[in-house]
Structures are given as structure tokens and as C-alpha cells.
Structure 1
Amino acid sequence: MRQIGPDGVDTLPLLTVVDVPAAPAGCRRTLVERARWEWRPADGGDPAAAAQDFLAAHGLPLDDLARPAAGHDPTGPCGAALYVSAAAGALLAGAPPGAATPAPALPDVAVVVYGHADTPRVRPAPGPWRLGDWAESWTRAEHAAAVEAVREAIGRGDVYQVNVVGHACARYAGDPLPALTRLGALPGARYGGTLTGAGWAIGCASPETLVELTGGRLVTRPIKGTRPATAAGARELLASAKERAEHVMIVDLERNDLARVARTGTVTVDELFAVRRWCDLWQAESTVSAAVADGLGLADLLRAVCPGGSVTGAPKRAALDQIAALEPVGRGAGMGTLGWVAPGRIDLGLTIRTAAADAERVHVWAGGGITWGSDPEAEVAEAAAKSAPVRAALAGR
């Protein structure tokens, strides 16, 4: 485990304006970093418990999420960014972390505590930027073969559904942060924003809520089911028995995840299979909520919901075993969680539609849920459609 001072960025410059996904909009121009903690598997220990302890030590107690938040101290911390990679989430679930990450400069857990500056911050003008050609981590045929392998595992009864994800990277020249910031402006990016560290940065355009806590109620909004954002695409998505079955399977998984940390009998499905737009795609989203159990701390919440069901599969542990066996490249910053935590408020998004930069390359991840009814070529095309707006934004188009 390591604690890093507030000016931890060396090879990548730090954005003057803090732009963490789900940070309070009215605070972003005055936020300043006060303390930082990062974790990688080699550090050992329990990262969920360590993150909770670090936050408490810096004035953000999150050991009982049902307890009403104390009055705000204007001289104290505003809140903190929290990032958990897919690999760290798998470890929290007692599953293998999968293949090695293609971006080892990134930590697997990061907690950054912010306070307020006396004067508003300004964002510097973007510098020169050039993005090279994308190199895929697997071919279309290899991706399709992984889809077929999942179908075979479903046929054997090993799993019901598995989310299969691919990776691509491109070299760059210049400052990557303005390019990563552009992702937050994509239509439907509920968790638009950036997080930076020493030699790394993450840009997010995610529309999906992993878990939100306000007013003593937990909410998750799983997304599963995709079609082009046309009138015909909406009709096709609503009429698809395959997409609906896949979606309901993940809703049930998320209900079970919330039930582990909720007051008994309070889990409800508030909205089922609503069609919403992200860039040029329709996606099906549901809303599941529950009353938070007394005494629930952040660490136990993370263990219950990470990694997200819509980016793993069902049953979750068996799906993670398939992911570790099939994906040749680690998920890095993709398919994890990133957002904001503070007493009385937690808002964490899934890092889908997300990119990360190290000192040399920009990385993206995209995939989709595979069921018995999946067509391999269609699944490959769906992953490409999800990745296309992210790649275009990074390129400045």
C-alpha cells in the first residue's frame, strides 16, 4: 500500500479543474487534492478495508452508510474520487483477476481526497495532440471464437451469461488529458469526467450506475441490450426476446447483490427494460433500489457490488472464471468503477465507454454480454459500435 502526496503526477500534467465523474457540479472549479492512496495487488492486504480506513483518516467516515451525514464543515474535505479496477473487483469477489493489464502504470484502486480552494480554478488551453493507429488485442476471428467458447460453456451448464471484452491501444503525441476530457461531453455520459495520477489518466463517458446512495437508499441501474439509435433500432430492441432475457438475468443478479447489503425485504425493481440513448446507440436500462442496512460500511458495499454484474455475467463467480480463461488482455481501467464518495452520498459508475492513458499509449475496452442465443459476428460488431464514439472523441472528431 502506498500514500502519495497531492502533486503525484509526473509524466502527465494534472488538469487544473478537477473533473472527477459524479463530483458535485458546483464544486468542480474549486476542488483541490489533499491526499491520495493507491493500491496494486503486489501491495497485499484488503483494498476495500484499506480504502475505507484511509477515507476515515482524512475526515470522510463511511463505516455506517445508513447513518445521516453530519453537518458540512467548509474547511474540511468535500469528498473523494474512488476508482476500483475490474481486476481488483474480481479479487474482492474471490475470483481470479484475469490476464495481465496492458496499462501497468495504472493502480488497481485509487482514492483521492479533495477540499476546496479559495478561488476558482481554470482549465488550461489544450496543447498539440496526435493519435496514432489502433492496434487490437485480438482479431475479429479470435473475438468470435471467444463468443463461441462462452456458448459452449452455457451448453455445458457452467454459466448462463458471460460478458466478453476486447482491448485496443494507440500511441499518441502531446497531452492526452484534453482528449480524455472530451469523452465526458459525449451524449448520455452520466459519469463523464477524468481522474489522473502519476503517469496515468482515465477518461470516462459511462452511462451506467454501478451503485448510488442518497437518502439512505441504494440504487443500481444495469444496462444490457444494444441497438443502433434509429426508430427501427428501438423497435427491434423492445421486441427482442434474446435481449430481454439477457437483461432480466442481469437485473436478477443485481437484485441479489443489493440484497446482501440491504435491509431485509426492501429490494425493488423500480423500472424494467427502459430504452435510453448513448451517442448513436439505444440501450436497455433498469433501475433496482433498496434501503441500506444499518451498519453497512463502504468496504462491504464494494465487496457486494464489484465487479458489476452487467460486465461479468451470471453466476458472477463462474462468469469471472470464464473471463480469466478467455480474454487475452486484462481489462485495466475498463469494466471497473469510478465516481465520488462522501458521507451521505456515494455515486459510482461502471467504467464502460472508458479510455486510459499511460506515458505512451491510449487504451480502450469494449465488449458485450454473451448468451446461448448470441451470434458471434453480431457480438463482434456490437463491441465495435460501442467503441467507435470513444475512439472518435479521442481523435478529436
Structure 2
Amino acid sequence: MSVNRPDGVEALPKTGIDVPGAPPECRGRLVERARLEWWLADGGDPAALAQEFLAAHGVDLSDLGRPAAHDPHGTCGAALFLSAAAGARAAGGAVGAPSPVPALPDLVAVVYGHADAPAPPVRPRPGGWWLGPWRDSWTPAAHAQAVAAVRAAIGRGDVYQVNVVGHAAAGYAGDPLPALARLAALPGARYGGTLSGLGWAIGCASPETLVAVEHGRLVTRPIKGTRPATPAGRRELLASAKERAEHVMIVDLERNDLARVARTGSVRVDELFAVRRWCDLWQAESTVSAVPADGLGLAALLRAVCPGGSVTGAPKLAALDEIAALEPVGRGAGMGALGWVGPGRVDLGLTIRTAAADADRLHVWAGGGITWGSDPAAEVAEAAAKAAPVRALLAA
């Protein structure tokens, strides 16, 4: 575990902050004040560590239902990243295979204050950009076999649904940050932005809200169900009994997750199976909300919602066991949480449509939810369709 205190970061040059969820009015003059980086091997509860570290540096999130005001001159808030493996650890589930990006921490919390003057624009490092061929961690046949294995587990009654995810990596030369930053421009990237550290960087184009605090309510917006963004694709998605059943199953899971940390009787589904567009795909999204229980803190909230239900399955802990047995490569930056937390503010996206860079490779992840009605070939094709816009923009 590494912690940078203010005296260790004050001398760093000020650069623009592009963290998903950061207050737009503050982005131009944010400066890093403190940083926590934690890996699974460090031990401990990442949810508790995040809340304790943030509180120690001026971001008290011990009671999310308590009104709080943003201080435009003091501590602004913090970027927060939690890997899927860290979320599984916090939830008491299987953490899965080792990450293909060992330089990337499993928990990152970066506290920001306000600078007196706007930060200078970020300039890419000199030199060109080259991205090599993508190499998948499993073949289409192996992916299809994993789908078949999930269907067998469903047939035995072990699970109802499991999300399986594949990984691919490509070598690169040049500065990866501009390439990762381009992902924010993808249509529907509600959580577009970047976060970086020594030897690693994340670029996100996620459309999915893992959890937010909005108008005094906890909100999650699970996405399940995908079709090509054509008129026929939209009609097919709306008419698909398989996709609707898969979607409703995850909505029920998210209702249960929020109920664990909500005021009794306050959980509701505000919107069900709304079809929205991300790049060249239609996706079905619902909105579930609840009033936070008295005294609910960030750590308890993270334990309740991480890893996200739409990228694990139902029941969640049983799905994590299946994922750990089937996926040959860890999820790294994918299927975790990334966003902003601050006084009176939580806004964390689920890191789907997300890429990571280490010293010499870019990494992407994509997958889908498997039910008894899933067709292995169709699931392989769906994962490829989700990854294609990310891969293309990284190569641009």
C-alpha cells in the first residue's frame, strides 16, 4: 500500500483533471493533495480503508444522508477507483484470477483541493502513437465453452445468471493518455474520463451508474440487454423475452443490494427497461433508488453494491464463484467502480467500456450476462460488439 501525503505531491506540476464525475466548475483548477493506492496483497478491507483515508484528508463520508456543502476554496472531493476484485473482497466473495495489469492498484483514492489559478493544458509526450494487434486471453471457442459451463451451472440450480468477461491486450508505443482520453468522446459515455498513476492509467467510456447519491436518494442504473443500434435492433430488444427476463433478474438483485443499506420500505424502481444508445448499440437500462439508512457511510455502501450486479450475476456470491472458476484472466480495471466522491456527493460509474495501460500494453475487457436461454455464439458476438468501438478509438 502506498500513500502520498500533501508534502509529496505539492511539488508536482498541476495538470488538468479529467476524472469521471468531477464537478465541471472545478475541473480546471483542481490539484492533488493526497493519494492512497492499495493492492489485494496488502490485506484489509478496501471499503473501510477508502472511507478512513478520505476522512483523514477532509472528505468525511461517514453519513451519506447528512446534508453537506461544497467548499470552493478547500477540499473539493476525491477520485475513487475500486477494482472488481477489490469489490469482491469487500463483499466477501471470490476475487478471481490475477489481474493482467499488476501495476494497477485495486483501490485508488485521490483527494483534490482547489488551485488559485487554472491548471495549464495537458500536453502529450512527443512522438507518435502506435498500437499493435490485439491478442485475446481466450479464443471464441473457449468463450463459448464458458457460456456452456454457466448454462450447466444454471441447470444444476447453482446460479440463475452469471456475467462472463473476456480480456484482450495490445502492445503500444507513445503516450497512452491521449488515446485513453479519447474514450470519453464515445456517444453515451456518461462516465467518460481518465485516472492515472505511476506506471498505469485508466480510460473510461462507461454509460452505467453503479451508485450515486442524487437528491437525497441512493441511485443505481443497471444495464442489461444489447442489440445493434438499428430500428430492427430496437424492436428486437424490446420484444425479447430472454433479454427482459435477464434484465429484470438484475433489477431485483440491485433492489436487494440497496435494501441492505436503505431505509425500510424506501426502495423503488423509477424506470424499467428503458432502451438507450451507446455508440452503435441499443442497451436496456433501469433506474432503482432508495433513501439511505440513518448513518450510512461510504464503506457500507461499497460493500452492498460492489461488485456491480450487472457484471456478476445472481445470486452474487455464487456468481463470483463461477466467474473465478471460468475466467482465465482477472478483470483488472474492468467491471469495477470509478468516479467522484465529495461532501454530499457520490457518483460512481461501473467500469464497463473501459481500458487500462501499463508500461507497454493496453488492456480491454468485455462480456455479457449468461442465462439458461443464452446462445454461446451470440454471446461471443455481443462481447466483440461491445469492445469494438473502444478498440477502434484507441487505435485512432
Question: One fold, TM greater than 0.5?
Answer: yes
Q: Distance in 1 between matches of 2:256 and 2:106?
A: 25
* Deviation of the 1:261 alpha carbon: 0.5
Match of 1:59 in 2: 58
Q: Distance in 2 between matches of 1:34 and 1:26?
A: 18
Q: Aligned in 2, Cα 1:373/1:101: closer, same or farther, shift over 3 Å?
A: same
Match of 2:29 in 1: 30
Moved more, 187-196 or 73-82: 73-82
Asked if 1:155 corresponds to 2:155, the answer is: yes
Asked if 1:389 corresponds to 2:389, the answer is: yes
Match of 1:140 in 2: 140
Q: Aligned in 2, Cα 1:6/1:20: closer, same or farther, shift over 3 Å?
A: farther
Whether the 8 Å CA contact 1:15–1:177 is kept in 2: the answer is: no
Q: Distance in 2 between matches of 1:391 and 1:8?
A: 36
Q: Distance in 2 between matches of 1:14 and 1:296?
A: 37
Q: Distance in 2 between matches of 1:8 and 1:226?
A: 46
Whether the 8 Å CA contact 1:130–1:173 is kept in 2: the answer is: yes
Moved more, 198-207 or 22-31: 22-31
Moved more, 34-43 or 178-187: 34-43
Match of 1:120 in 2: 118
- State the AA in 1 paired with 2:92: G
Whether the 8 Å CA contact 1:154–1:371 is kept in 2: the answer is: yes
1:76-107 Cα shifts (integer Å, max 9, x gaps): 11000000000001111111110010000000
Match of 1:296 in 2: 296
- State the AA in 2 paired with 1:58: H
Whether the 8 Å CA contact 2:14–2:31 is kept in 1: the answer is: no
Q: Distance in 1 between matches of 2:8 and 2:71?
A: 26
TM-score normalised by the chain length of structure 2: 0.97
Q: Distance in 2 between matches of 1:4 and 1:299?
A: 21
Q: Distance in 1 between matches of 2:336 and 2:318?
A: 18
Match of 2:78 in 1: 80
Whether the 8 Å CA contact 2:168–2:363 is kept in 1: the answer is: yes
Q: Distance in 2 between matches of 1:105 and 1:307?
A: 21
* Deviation of the 1:214 alpha carbon: 2.4
Q: Distance in 1 between matches of 2:358 and 2:277?
A: 30
Structure 1 alignment gaps of length 5 or more = none
Q: Distance in 1 between matches of 2:100 and 2:328?
A: 10
Match of 1:16 in 2: 15
Match of 1:368 in 2: 368
Structure 2 alignment gaps of length 5 or more = none
Secondary structure of 1:220's aligned partner = strand
* Deviation of the 1:75 alpha carbon: 3.0
The root-mean-square deviation of aligned C-alpha atoms, in Å, is 1.5
TM-score normalised by the chain length of structure 1: 0.96
Secondary structure of 2:238's aligned partner = helix
Q: Distance in 2 between matches of 1:251 and 1:266?
A: 15
Q: Distance in 2 between matches of 1:111 and 1:290?
A: 26
Secondary structure of 2:201's aligned partner = strand
Whether the 8 Å CA contact 1:84–1:109 is kept in 2: the answer is: yes
Secondary structure of 2:276's aligned partner = strand
Q: Could you tell me the percent identity over the aligned residues? A: 79
Q: Distance in 1 between matches of 2:63 and 2:184?
A: 31
1:347-386 Cα shifts (integer Å, max 9, x gaps): 0000000000001100000000000000000000000000
Secondary structure of 2:95's aligned partner = coil
Asked if 1:238 corresponds to 2:238, the answer is: yes
